Amino acid sequence: MERAAVIYFVRHAKAGERRLWEGDDVDRPLSKTGWKQSTAVARRLAKKDVAALYASPYIRCMQTLEPLGDLTGLKVQADRRLFEGEPFEPVLDLLNEVEDGAVLCSHGDIIPAVITALVRRGMEVETPPDWSKASVWVLRRKGSRITKGKVWPAPKLAAKSTKK
């Protein structure tokens, strides 16, 4: 069966607060909520024909895709082009290089810049934009062109019980 010409572009799940983190920001991990979000994203994506996993080398991006790697048996591959604070143009190249069914995980500055560039190049956006943590952009391509994009909002997590 041929893979659908789709790429999934995930914003990393919630991490601990930047202002409270004392180490290098590259090493800031997911929070408990972030792990729950990444597990929910993994369950949804595992139902798709996932071919490969690529993430910014930041720990929170790698961790966001780990549950999906566990479910699919795929290894999360670090790609510096997905790094926070970097130019978005190399990510456009990466989108052309990856196989159909690839899942990419990056940051809140990169994803909007890439989506905006794709819109300038003719991509039709089918849903209102959503840049929240653990949101997933579903990008459809024909040949080397991304033609349509829609976003799955971040997973809704069960509220904490107030019972004692």
Q: What is the pLDDT of residues 62-78, one digit of tens each?
A: 999 999 999 999 999 99
Question: Is the pLDDT reported for residue 154 higher than 70?
Answer: yes
Three-class SS state of 55: strand
DSSP 82: G
Q: How confident is the model at residue 164 (pLDDT cuts 50, 70, 90)?
A: very low
Question: Is the pLDDT reported for residue 112 higher than 90?
Answer: yes
Residue 1: its pLDDT value, please? 43
Residue 23: its pLDDT value, please? 73
pLDDT one-digit tens code per residue, 128-141 = 999 999 999 999 99
pTM score, whole prediction: 0.92
Question: What is the spatial order of strands in the sheet that 6-11 belongs to?
Answer: 76-78, 52-55, 102-106, 6-11, 136-142, 145-152, 124-125
Locus of tokens 């391509």: 141
Nearest to 25 by CA among 85, 74, 102: 85
CB of 35 closer than 8 Å to CB of 81: no
pLDDT one-digit tens code per residue, 78-102 = 999 999 999 999 999 999 999 999 9
Residue 25: its pLDDT value, please? 67
| 54 residue type, one letter | Y
pLDDT one-digit tens code per residue, 20-52 = 767 766 778 999 999 999 999 999 999 999 999
What is 6-17+24-152's CATH topology? Answer: Rossmann fold (3.40.50)
Locus of tokens 């890439």: 114
- For range 113-132, the mean pLDDT: 97
More confident residue, 89 or 157: 89
Q: What is the DSSP string of 91-145?
A: HHHHHHHSPTTEEEEE-TTHHHHHHHHHHHTTPEE-S-----TT-EEEEEEETTE
Domain map (residue ranges) of the chain? 6-17+24-152
Residue 119: CB atoms within 10 A of its CB come to 14
- For range 117-129, the mean pLDDT: 97
Give the whole-angstrom CA distance, residue 105 versus residue 116. 17
Angle between helices 32-46 and 59-72 (to 10 degrees): 40
